[in-house]
């Protein structure tokens, strides 16, 4: 085992954190109607299109900047002052205050939290500032679902509406010149052109979306997870007993949100996870999720059979008071389901699932998580912690996919969803895992039905088991499909899955693969605004605006580095070809020459157009084109 650290090297931490803005990009904010609703976007500046119409200087056509969804928080805003040792500013503090339904606590109420705080040996691991501690006033329920069901549009909901509305975030000029998006196929998802605060409220009230935002995590920028919003991506970080310290994990947090993590789960095990979590929460602008069972198991020195409800309850309160926004709770692993895994190829592969199975068998009784579920709800609503009901019996191999153990647990998760909703507590449902392509959709269909459309949150799924070292790819393939079918959030997988703890680069590789999957799902569902990004890349590509193509890429650094590997000279950045095909064989260049040739040779006219099937979405443009049939290219 690695030696556990005894202090945090804040100089080292500050050096690690990446704070550079993205190339050619700036942070812009769009205000909402409610006070303090100021929603960040990344605005990518683009260069002009040069139109060559004969000899002399080309005409310049401006390309409006593109605004994209931005989960990177203040770190990419050069104007933001950030002190890692004190944490981010509390964006939501005033909103929470104004609701008047929380009370400020004099101190931590969990036994373990107090014990850690009272241990002077840990002072070198603690941050410089302590946050204000809040809890719902007695009898109050501070969940976003509770507000939504009473018809209240909170600032959090308005923030989400502005954030999701990529169409509105674009300038008017872009809208007027935009290529029509492809007709989507959303399998029943509701694709609004214009996402309103009221729509967000109705989705949260209905339980079809969640906004994970603990009152003790006011630093977070509200975001929604739901089938009728953009598909989100979660990144898992956290040390294990074998490797990694607090500095690495905070750095991974900032790095993960730079590459698009919409939420981050801190899955730390080993010592000091209370303190590690505090550093992560105070510096995180995205919701943080945890699996409290991991810490509970540490408290009983890894002996699952020694877990108990009082110990677990204290852990929930400890973490809720730190500000964790969602808890994975494996309450669906019931005693009777454990034998269903007996003839599996890979048994139980969820850590939480295997811990609970061991507890159930050892005590030969029903899971304490299942039996105390109502009491857990009481804690959740006192802080607004969202459930992420864990799929402890998810399949760990193609052979075990969609089996009876998995679906038995899913039905229990649906039952528990209804219990949580009776408490107005937000819920999402975790899903697999390892599933071959042809069985992926069944997971979504069954989940939507069994869990009443509560947001689905899946790990991949990997669509084959043969790819250790490349499981980010095989799982992102499954993720693109399951996102398209209706999964609301995709939990990433890194190249190290099944092999070791991911490092910084693994985190990035996992995120890029999953952001591609999520964006592809958005496109496929027909989200208005999603295709604008693709169009901007493709237009830049066709016009040889290399710098624009790099800065529009999902990873500008890599795109530029790959291009420069073979054509590093500055003038190659304006060249009308790249090294892949060379100058004579660049189809884009020839295609432009075709247009230019037609322009200079107006006498060249094609025969009458054949009657061909016209794609519906392009119908109008095709008609318009035929009407001006005598000109090949305008």
Per the annotation, where are the binding residues for substrate? 236, 265, 294, 330, 350-352, 391-394, 430, 457
Cβ atoms 219, 88 nearer than 8 A:
yes
Nearer to a copy of itself, 365 or 422 (CB): 365
Residues annotated within the binding site are: 236, 265, 294, 330, 350-352, 391-394, 430, 434, 457, 498, 578, 581, 586
* DSSP assignment string, 78-89: TT----TTT---
The Cα 437–Cα 434 span in angstroms is 10
Nearer to a copy of itself, 147 or 259 (CB): 259
Contacts for 355 with CB less than 8 Å, ≥ 6 apart = 293, 297, 304, 307, 330
Helix, strand or coil for residue 428? strand
Least distance CB 495 / a copy of itself (angstroms): 7
Least distance CB 319 / a copy of itself (angstroms): 17
Phi, psi dihedral angles at 434 (to 5 degrees)? -125, 115
Nearer to a copy of itself, 9 or 465 (CB): 465
Cβ atoms 407, 442 nearer than 8 A:
no
Cβ atoms 173, 64 nearer than 8 A:
yes
Least distance CB 297 / a copy of itself (angstroms): 7
Cβ atoms 523, 184 nearer than 8 A:
yes
Nearer to a copy of itself, 377 or 528 (CB): 528
Structure tokens at 365: 């009784």
Helix, strand or coil for residue 524? helix
Radius of gyration from C-alpha coordinates of the chain: 26
- CA-based nearest residue to 554, from 576, 536, 578, 580: 536
Least distance CB 620 / a copy of itself (angstroms): 11
Helix, strand or coil for residue 293? helix
Least distance CB 374 / a copy of itself (angstroms): 21
Phi, psi dihedral angles at 327 (to 5 degrees)? -110, 130
- CA-based nearest residue to 194, from 152, 227, 235, 165: 165
Least distance CB 26 / a copy of itself (angstroms): 19
Nearer to a copy of itself, 323 or 392 (CB): 392
Q: Is the dihedral of CA 287, 271, 75, 232 positive or negative?
A: negative
Give strand ranges (E) for 366-440.
Answer: 386-389, 427-431
Least distance CB 188 / a copy of itself (angstroms): 13
Nearer to a copy of itself, 154 or 475 (CB): 475
Nearer to a copy of itself, 338 or 380 (CB): 338
Helix axes 292-299, 351-363, angle to 10 degrees: 50
The Cα 618–Cα 205 span in angstroms is 37
Nearer to a copy of itself, 279 or 359 (CB): 359
Least distance CB 128 / a copy of itself (angstroms): 30
């Amino acid at each position: 085992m690695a030696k556990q650290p005894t202090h945090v090297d804040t100089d080292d931490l500050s050096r690690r954190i990446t704070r550079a803005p993205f190339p050619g990009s700036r942070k812009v904010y769009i205000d909402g109607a409610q006070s303090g609703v100021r929603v960040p976007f990344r605005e990518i500046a683009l260069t002009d299109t040069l139109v060559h119409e004969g000899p002399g200087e080309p005409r310049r056509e401006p390309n409006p900047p593109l605004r994209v969804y931005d989960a990177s928080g203040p770190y990419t805003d050069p104007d933001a002052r950030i002190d890692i040792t004190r944490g981010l500013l509390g964006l939501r503090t005033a909103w929470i205050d104004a609701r008047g339904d929380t009370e400020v606590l004099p101190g931590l109420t969990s036994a373990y939290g107090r014990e850690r705080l009272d241990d002077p040996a840990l002072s070198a691991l603690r941050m410089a500032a302590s946050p204000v501690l809040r809890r719902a006033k007695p009898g109050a329920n501070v969940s976003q679902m509770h507000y939504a069901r009473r018809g209240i549009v909170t600032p959090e909901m308005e923030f989400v509406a502005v954030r999701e509305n990529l169409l509105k975030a674009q300038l008017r000029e872009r809208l007027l010149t935009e290529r029509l998006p492809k007709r989507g196929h959303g399998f029943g998802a509701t694709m609004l052109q214009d996402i309103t605060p009221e729509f967000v409220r109705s989705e949260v009230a209905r339980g079809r979306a969640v906004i994970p935002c603990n009152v003790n995590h006011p630093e977070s920028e509200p975001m929604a997870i739901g089938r009728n919003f953009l598909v989100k991506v979660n990144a898992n970080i956290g040390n294990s007993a074998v490797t990694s310290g607090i500095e690495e994990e905070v750095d991974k947090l900032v790095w993960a949100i730079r590459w698009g993590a919409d939420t981050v789960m801190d899955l730390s095990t080993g010592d000091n996870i209370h303190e590690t979590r505090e550093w992560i929460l105070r510096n995180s602008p995205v919701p943080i999720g945890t699996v409290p069972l991991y810490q509970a198991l540490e408290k009983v020195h890894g002996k699952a059979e020694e877990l108990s409800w009082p110990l677990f309850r204290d852990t929930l309160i400890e973490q809720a008071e730190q500000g964790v926004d969602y808890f994975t709770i494996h309450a669906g692993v019931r005693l009777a389901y454990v034998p269903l895994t007996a003839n599996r190829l890979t048994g139980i592969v969820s850590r939480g699932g295997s811990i609970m199975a061991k507890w159930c068998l050892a005590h030969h009784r029903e899971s304490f998580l299942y039996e105390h579920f109502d009491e857990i709800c009481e804690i959740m609503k006192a802080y607004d912690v969202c459930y992420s009901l864990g799929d402890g019996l998810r399949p760990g191999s193609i052979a075990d996919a969609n089996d009876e153990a998995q679906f038995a647990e899913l039905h229990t998760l649906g039952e528990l969803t209804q219990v949580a909703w009776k408490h107005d507590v937000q819920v999402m449902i975790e899903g697999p895992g390892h599933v071959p392509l042809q069985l992926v959709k069944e997971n979504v269909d069954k989940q939507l039905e069994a869990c009443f459309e509560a947001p689905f949150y899946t790990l991949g799924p990997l669509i084959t088991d043969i790819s250790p070292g490349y499981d980010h790819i095989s799982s992102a393939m499954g993720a693109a499909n399951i996102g398209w079918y209706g999964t609301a959030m995709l939990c990433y997988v890194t190249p190290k899955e099944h092999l070791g703890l991911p490092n910084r680069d693994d985190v990035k590789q996992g995120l890029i693969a999953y952001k591609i999957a999520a964006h592809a799902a958005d496109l496929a569902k027909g989200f208005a605004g999603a295709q604008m990004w693709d169009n901007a890349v493709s237009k830049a590509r066709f016009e040889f605006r290399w710098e624009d193509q790099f800065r529009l890429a999902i990873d500008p650094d890599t795109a530029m580095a790959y291009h420069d590997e073979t054509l590093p000279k500055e003038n190659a950045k304006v060249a009308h070809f790249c090294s892949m095909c060379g100058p004579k064989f660049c189809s884009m260049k020839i295609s432009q020459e075709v247009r230019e040739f037609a322009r200079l040779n107006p006498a060249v006219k094609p025969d009458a157009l054949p009657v061909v099937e016209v794609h519906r979405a392009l119908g109008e443009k095709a008609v318009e084109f035929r009407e001006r049939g005598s000109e090949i290219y305008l």
